[in-house]
Amino acid sequence: MPDVDLAKFASRAWINPPGGVVGPVLASAADVTITHPIHHVSGAAALTNLWPPFPGFIGEVTLIPDGAFTTVATGNIGAAATAVVGRAISMVFDGTKWYPR
């Protein structure tokens, strides 16, 4: 598991959280691990699994497409979506599956 600072997710307001809100750019791939509330995502590969930042995580993250990736309703993603470069996608995790909105 990546080194994740749980305090990043502790405040819904995200006002100056320790370690920052925006994480590193993630390359689109079948398996992607979330470490921050916001990530840019590069590439055009389909996402089939998003791994939550820590055990027990339930909530929302924002992905900002730098490439036209897709999500597919397999693995732990509950609905398909197509990313549009520059248009953020919120992903909501219910503890089992991620749902784009």
In this prediction the pTM is 0.83
> What are the pLDDT tens digits along the chain (101 aa)?
455 555 555 555 455 556 678 999 999 999 999 999 999 999 999 999 999 999 999 999 999 999 999 999 999 999 999 999 999 999 999 999 999 98
Alpha-carbon torsion (99, 9, 49, 43), positive or negative = positive
35 SS3 class: coil
Cβ 74 vs Cβ 50: under 8 Å: no
89 has which bridge partners? 63
CB count in 10 Å sphere of residue 73 = 12
The structure tokens listed for 78 are: 């509950």
Smallest CA-to-CA distance from 62 within 80, 48, 83, 43 is with 83
